[in-house]
Structure formats: structure tokens, C-alpha cells
Amino acid sequence: PDRGALAKKSELPAERLHVKVGYTDEVVARIATEVHADLVIIGTLNQLGRESSRRGNTAARVIGNQSVDVMVVN
């Protein structure tokens, strides 16, 4: 994704946006460390059934891979 376009659309400064490629839990942990985050806030999709078991629970992996507090919102 184009970070400039995301910044314009979200009205956030481009330097506050982090666009990375990789596994969500690893990328979030790396960025949290880079920016010295005190808290990570993530959303959850509450997937059920086959989709949930096939992809796993991203929120659980993010929580397990953090050295800071994590807030999960639904």
C-alpha cells in the first residue's frame, strides 16, 4: 500500500503510519519495539468454524508475541 495515500485518507502524518510485510504477530512486535510502545491495541474479527481453525487466532498470536500490554477490541 502507498503510505502517502493512507496518510491522506486517514488524516494521520505519514511518519506515524507503518506499512510492513510479514506475519502479523511478528510485525506488530517489531514495530512496538521500534516505537517504544507502552500499549498495543488491535481489533478482532471473531471468526468461527473452518476459517478460524485454518488461519488461527491472530489476536492470540499477537498477545503471545508482545513484551508490552495488549488491548483487544471487538
| Domain ranges across the chain | 3-73
Query: Whole-model pTM?
Result: 0.69
Contact 61, 40 (CB under 8 A): no
Residue 40 pLDDT = 93
Give Cα separations from 5 to 16, 49, 52 (angstroms): 13, 35, 31
Query: Nearest Cα to 56, choosing from 69, 40, 45?
Result: 45
Residue 10 pLDDT = 85
Residue 51 pLDDT = 56
User: For residue 48, is pLDDT > 80?
Assistant: no
Q: Is 21 helix (H, G, I), strand (E, B) or coil?
A: coil
User: For residue 36, is pLDDT > 90?
Assistant: yes
Share the mean pLDDT of the chain. Answer: 82
Four-point Cα dihedral 23, 65, 55, 49, nearest 10: -160
